Structures are given as structure tokens and as C-alpha cells.
Amino acid sequence: MFQISSTTTLTRSASSSAEPQWSPPDTSSRPIAVLGGGVLGRRIACSWVAAGYKVVLCDINEEQRNAATHYVEHHVDEYAKLSGKQRNETRFSTVSYIKDAVKDAWMVVEALPEKLPLKIDVMAQLEQQTPKDCILASNSSSYKSRFMLDKVDAGSRHRVCNMHYYMPPGNNVVELMTCGETHSDILPFLQDKLQDAGMLPAIARKESTGFIFNRLWAAIKRESLLILAEGVSEPKEIDKLFLTMFKNNPLGPCGMMDAVGLDTVAFIESNYVQERGIDSTARDWVQKNFVEKGKLGAKSGKGGLYPAGETTRGSKAESGHHGNLAAPRLYFLDIGIGGNVTDLKNVVTSGKIMTASADGSNVRELVGGQAMPDGIDVSMSAGRIFWTNMGTSPASNNGSVMSAKLDGTDVQAIIPEGQIHTPKQLKIDHDNKKLYICDREGLRVHRCDFDGKNHELILQTGEMGTQDVDDQTKWCVGIAVDPQAGMFYWSQKGPSKGGKGRIFRANMKMPDGETASSRSDTTLLFDNLPEPIDLEYEPESQTLYWTDRGEYPLGNTLNKAYVGSGEAEKNEIVTLARHFHEAIGLKIDAVNRHVYTTDLGGTVYRFDMDGGKKEKIYQTDSAYSGIALAHLQHSVANLRWPFRGFSILLLTSTTTMNTISQPPRIKRISGPKRFFGVLLGITGGLGANALIAYGVTSFYTRNTKFVPFDTSSPDLSTAVFRAHNPHGNPPACIDHAIKQVPYGKLPQKYWIKSSGDGITVDQRALTTDFCRSVWSGVAFRVQRRIMERKYRNLEGRDKHLWDVKELAKNEYPVGTGIVDHFEVVQHTDDKVIVRCGDSPFIAEHRPSDGLFSMEVSKDDEAQVATFHLKSVFVDTTPEGKNSEPQPGPLQAAHRLYTKLWMESATRKMIKEA
């Protein structure tokens, strides 16, 4: 714990001979503005709100604002314990524009991503839009605030400082540091205010990269990574030793790095490498082995130094600790028939929507008085909870589908009574913003928009109100959706404990000319099940999970089965867990690789994806039905400047990251045949149509030009090219196409800022999307299909990218395999380079080899982005030393194909503008 005196002497810039005038502002009626609703932004806001201060949080993304509001609602009492203050009201609001947040603020805390140009621009904006006594504080942990002053007038710099929070409420340390020109009264003033808010402020007496603790922590991290990089020890052993020495910390350095995010660790290490000139081995090791493979720690769902899910702690961890950053918020339904119900006369309307932290703490009721609630799901983008009510009597047509804001207010009937009979599980199709609902005694599956519009029946198993209702094998109960494949799944449970349950699948799109009762595309996947209830589909493994409340020993279980396109494991049911008390609710946490279930015995459980590590999260004498979850820390959206980057360090990536495993050797053919075959495969996609439509194609590609590119180019001297062509063999085919696009024609999602001085753009985002558009664009479609037919079913190709949706969404880290013949070997801010010409499973040098580079350069002065496609084909074997260039017609065909790739990719990117 810090022991700090109330009087602190600060070091000021030698050039500051006379201080500007500054007087402490009024903090009783004026607000604090917090810029950014991410992990720390909402925590910073909550700490001040809990102490009675007025706070306005600014984030242009509605989902982030909803998540921040939800966080403050649920945690403000927890933060209030730090200050011990009693507040009369919660003074918190959110806005979408900076000017609205800061116009009367006494302090602004920017909690933006660690992008220095962004921070420089925001500080300049704040100088103009804030009162002259407003303190401008940066939460940056790696940049001195002095570096943010480039566009701030000298007369305003005395208001700027660093105010670095760690992770309240579990770690309420805040470090303050001068920008070198900060007024001498400001940091002591902030020290007093922070203590008033229950924080533990510490003042750095001099400007210091890393402040105080982070310098110490940096050394611990660096040595831990060096120990791992040198193979001296392993993460568990390092942390065991660390925890033995520092017993009060529930996470060791490796666990803490996983919790913070290894991309953040690598970024901060890069700052130390650049500023102090220290060895980059640790940074490079974690970047290559983890960050580039998408293994970012707790927030990625792919694991990090530890396997996925191990960093997030259970009930013993503090709610504010690093280990809980990736933990979701749980929402579950108390159906209202448990032992906790005392008013038996109104038992059918005693249902509740409950919410809790992932460790079972902070439990509270959101909505009460519900008629037998059963299914629930959450949309953070809409800021709403959706649930079903079965109604007061299963025999009556009085069920409903309901909706409310995340705090339980604004309760609405989406599908009112009379329009749905006995709704059971509800599932959100987040891609298309649709609700899917099973209707048990209604013998139907419904679909509608979030507001209840476009309500339609997509499946009907019998006629409601007839003897069909008595046939429980027709009762639809559980529902799951797979938007990527355009499929939905449902269970028909059968008689209670009857062993006649079934699970089906059908297309989301109704076959032409068919109806809900006559559709012909339904597929029976599993039958003779004890009594299947709720479903959940896991897209990465193409696996269906379900709960079953049937007879022991096969019933009251958690099960899974592969339902993907492969046949090896299809229809093989795996029982993951047993011995529930009437198993009902089911939800997968894709970020942490956990499965949550509920039962009517009043228990919420958590498992690993394979059913291991069973843990009772919450247990009462209630009866629980449906369960849902939301990751308040992992919102993803396309945002406008300056908030597009708010979520960069928080992303819960659900994108598949690809690695290459070594299969048996592939039979090789001669070099000339292989190279000729590759080029014919490339040009064959165009075929005769390309010749017939040559004039049209030339017109279509008229804006793509070729520039000089030969063996004298520096590109052929780079480390990556030398590594793949160690003999210096001459290229057989080489070209460089470019296309220039004015910034103003690019979609605004690539703009970092727009002002009177022009537009600045996000180069890395442009580069990654250019790569995505090349592979998913129409120019590559024919070749992709040809490659798919020839190679997709070969051994080891299951981890390659094949489908257009995959190609359009992937991040393309190093190691990604693309349709068998391409592999990413470098991905930087301005280029993505793939090795081409043959399968990456042939790792050694080969007759048909080469590099294909997708690059983006930018010219802020000319306001133009230039897109580059560079191709170099070469025989990299020792025998290729005397290779001759390919015939002119083949090179011309390749250049035409390159132009088509360029046009289809860039047009796809700018079509939004």
C-alpha cells in the first residue's frame, strides 16, 4: 500500500519560468468526462460515480455505451465501499460526441487505445472544447503525456498530465505524472480528489516511462518471457515460484500477462525497446509465438501462455482482478416454482430474470412477476434482453416473448399473448438480428425481428388445438442457429422420460413454394434420445451441444455431437456430464471455452468444453430454466473517429486462427510441369470467357497500372525473399500492379480523423481488408473453386481457409493456409505477404515457388492511398539457378489476372462509400 504525504514537490520543465494561472475548478456541479467505454473507461467512471461525482462517459458506439451503463449499474455499490461515502443519487450518463461530454467538465480522462497520433489529435480537440480550468488527464500506461502536446498551445499545456489507473475496484492504485509543464497545484489537487474517491494515488516525482510500478513490472515480465524463450522453465513453474514468494496475489506474472492480453504486453514492450534500446528478444518471442497466431490470452478465446479459459478465475478471485477481465455477465431465469416461492396463490407469475457475475457473486433480480419464463438471450448491440414466458397454463394460448433494457427497465411484449402458445428456448441470430423461438404446445418454430415485426412461422409439426398436441414427439423445445451455414436446429423432446426425443436441422431460408408444415428440407440428426431440451451450436468445431432431462443414466445429462460437413464423427453422441436435477438451460462461453448449464434443482453449473472441471457457480432452492451471458468487455464494432480503436485491446476474437501441421510427404512432379500447371490453373479460371470479354475486362481494369519491377527492386533483397530463395535464382515471372484511391472515396471506417487539414487513414486496417478482399473477391472465385475440388479433402487441409466468408473475415496471421497453395509468411501494418506456387506442406525449396504481396501505402499530403499487388514466381531449388523467364503469353495472362484481382478487391472495399 502506498503511503503518501499530502504535500508533494514536483519537477517542472526548466523552460517554465512563470507558471500560467490556474485555480481549482468547481467539482460539485460540473462533471468529469471519461472518453472511452472500454474495460478501464467504465471502471474509471464507476469509481467517481460511486464517490458522488457527476460523470459523463463518451463513446460513439452504442454497444459500448450500453455495456458501460450496465457495468455502473451493477458495480457502483461495490466501488462505494472504497470511499465509504453515501451518495444521494447516481449521476451518470453517456453521450456519443466529445463536445457534449466535455463542454462543462472540470476534468477529462481519456481512456483511448495506445495510439499516439490518436491521443495527439484528441488533446488538441480537448484544448479547444473544454473550459480553461479543465484538467486534461491521459490514462496512457506507456506514453508520457508530454508526447501528446504536439498540437496543444503552450498556454494550455499546464492543464495536461498522466493519470494512470490500474484495475479498480480490485486494484485501486492510480499513478499521477506531470507532462513536464503541468501546473504545480494540479497533481496534489488530483491526489486529494482521488483519495476522496477511495483510490490510492501515487505521484511520480519525475517524468518516467512506465511511471513507478510498471517499470518494476516490466522487468518481471521481461525476465519471465526470457526464461520461457530460452527454454529454462515453463509458465506453471514460474508462476508457482512467484506465488510462493508473493502469496497474496492470485495470479502470477504469466497469468497476469494472459489476463491483460499478450498483444498489449508486446505493444508496451515495443515502447520500452524503442525508448531504452533494450534487447527485443522477449518482445519478438511473444509476438511471433502468440500474438501473430491470435493467442492473446483471456480475451481471445484461443489461450495464451496458458490454455484457453485458465486465466479467468472462479469464485475466489476479486471481481476487479485482472483474471476476471474476460469473465461474462450471466443472465438466468427463475421459473418461479422452487422452494423459494412463498405465495403459492400467485406461483405462476412468480418468475424472475436474475443476473450475476460469472463467479456467482453480485446476484440481483432484474425483472419480476413473469409467467413461467423459460428461454433467454442477450444482444449487446441492441442493449436488450429477450426472454420467453410460457404463460399461466400450458393448455392455454397465453405465452409471450418479452424484451427489456439491460438494467431490467422498459419491459415490452415483443410477441404478445395469443400469438404464441408455450414458447420455450429463444435464440438470437446476431448476424441478421432475428429471434428464433420454439413453441411447445404450439407445435411450431417462430422467427421475428427484435421488435416483433416480420413475425413468421418457419416450422410446424402439427395443428395446434387438435389431437396433435397430445403427441409429445411433436413438441418443439430447444433451438440453435448457425447463421454462417444458414441452418437452424431444434429438439422435439417426446414424452417425459420416454426415450423418444429427436433433434432436427433445416435451412433458415424456406424452400420456394413450401410452408412451415410442408417444408421438405428438414433432416433428422438424432432420435430415441431420453428427453432433449435446450440446444447450443458451437461454430468453430461444428458441434451441437444439448441438455437432456430424461431418465437416468442416459438422461439428466450434458451431451454433444459433431454435425459438420465431415463424416468421421457424425452422429456419435458424447455425454460430457451427468447427474443433474432436471437439466434445462445451456449456454457456451466462446471466449473462455466454458459451458454453463442450469437445472430445476436450483443450480448454475460451469464446465470446460469437454465437460471437465464441473463447478457449481450458484445454488439455491429456486428452479432455474434458461441461461444466457454477455461479455461486457468484448464489444466489437466498426466505429467512427476517434472511437474506432476503443475496442482494439478488448477484442474477443471469434476468428479462426490457422496453424500448419506436417502431414506425410506429397508426391512431387517435375519443376517445369508444376510451374506450368500452376500458371495454367491461374489463367484457366478465366478460360475462353476472358478471351471473349477481353475488351470489357480491359475497360473494367483501366484504373490499375503496372510499374517497373525487376531484379533490381529492393523487394528481392528483403530477408523474407532471401529466406525463400537462398540461391538467388532469377524470377520466372515478376510484376507489380498499383491502383490509387483518394481518401475521400474510402469508407469512413478507415478514417482515423477528418478535419480541415484533411483525412488520415488507418493503414493496418486498409492492408488487412485489402488482403481479405483479394481472397474473397470475385476475381478469385473460380480459382478457389477449382482448388477446393482438387485439394480440400486431402489430409491436413481442414485448417486452411476455403469458404468465402472465412476468407472475408480472417485476420491472416502468419501461418494461415489459404486453399492449399498459399501461406501467410509476413503481416505488418503495410503489407501481407504469402508464399505461393505449391502447397505449404512442401516446406523445402521447390520448383514452383514465389511470393505474392498485398500492400497499402498512403500519402497524407496528396490524400491518396495506393494499393499494390506484387508477384514473384521463381524456381527456388538449386537447379533453378539458370531458369529462363516464362513465355510472354503466360506472363501477359498473369498480368491480366492480377489486374482483375486488384479491381475486384478495391471495388469491394470502396463500394460502401
User: Which residues have a Cβ under 8 Å from the Cβ of 715 and sit 6 or more positions away?
Assistant: 709, 721, 853, 870, 872
The CA angle 354-357-360, to the nearest 5 degrees, is 80
pLDDT beyond 80 at 550: yes
- Helical H segments across 753-850, by residue range: 763-776, 781-791, 804-809
> What structural domains does the chain harbor?
32-203 (3.40.50.720), 213-324 (1.10.1040.10), 329-630 (2.120.10.30), 682-910 (no CATH)
Which has more confidence, 270 or 506? 506
> Reading across the β-sheet that carries 822-827, which strands appear in turn?
705-706, 733-742, 864-874, 849-859, 831-836, 822-827, 817-818
pLDDT band, residue 5 (cuts 50/70/90): very low
> In the structure, what pLDDT confidence band is assigned to residue 698 with cuts at 50, 70 and 90?
low
3-state secondary structure of 473: helix
Residue 765 confidence (pLDDT) above 90: yes
Q: Residue 716 above 70 pLDDT? A: yes
Length of the chain: 913
Segment 13-62, tens digit of pLDDT: 434 457 788 999 999 999 999 999 988 999 999 999 999 999 999 998 88
pLDDT digits (tens, 9 = 90+) for 419-473: 999 999 999 999 999 999 999 999 999 999 999 999 999 999 999 989 999 999 9
Rounded Cα–Cα distance for residues 687 and 683 (Å):
6
The pLDDT, as a whole number, for residue 303 is: 84
Instruction: Please say if the pLDDT value at position 689 is more than 60.
Output: no
User: What pLDDT was estimated at residue 767?
Assistant: 96
- Taking 80 as the threshold, does the pLDDT of residue 678 lie above it? no
**Of the ranges 5-19, 117-131, 694-708, which one carries the lowest mean pLDDT score?**
5-19
What are the tens digits of pLDDT across the range 807-844? 999 999 988 999 988 999 999 999 999 999 877 777 67
pLDDT of residue 14: 38
User: Is residue 235 over pLDDT 80?
Assistant: yes
pLDDT, position 232:
92
Which of 248-257, 612-621, 645-654 is least confident? 645-654
415 versus 248: the higher-pLDDT residue is: 415
User: Can you tell me the mean pLDDT for 248-264?
Assistant: 79
**What share of the chain has pLDDT > 90, as a percent?**
53
The CA distance from 36 to 44, in Å, is 10
pLDDT at position 675 over 60: no
Whole-number pLDDT of residue 567: 58
Return the C-alpha cell found at 195: 483519495
Minimum mean pLDDT among 128-132, 314-318, 693-697, 782-786: which range?
Answer: 314-318
Q: Inform me whether the pLDDT recorded for 2 exceeds 70.
A: no
Residue type, 778: V
Q: Where are the beta strands (DSSP E) in 709-820?
A: 733-742, 751-755, 758-761, 817-818
C-alpha cell at position 734: 515478376
For residues 565 and 435, the model is more confident at 435
**Mean pLDDT value across residues 497-510:** 96
* CB contact at 8 A, 459 and 428: no
Give 212's pLDDT tier (boundaries 50, 70, 90).
confident
What mean pLDDT comes out for the span 712-735? 83
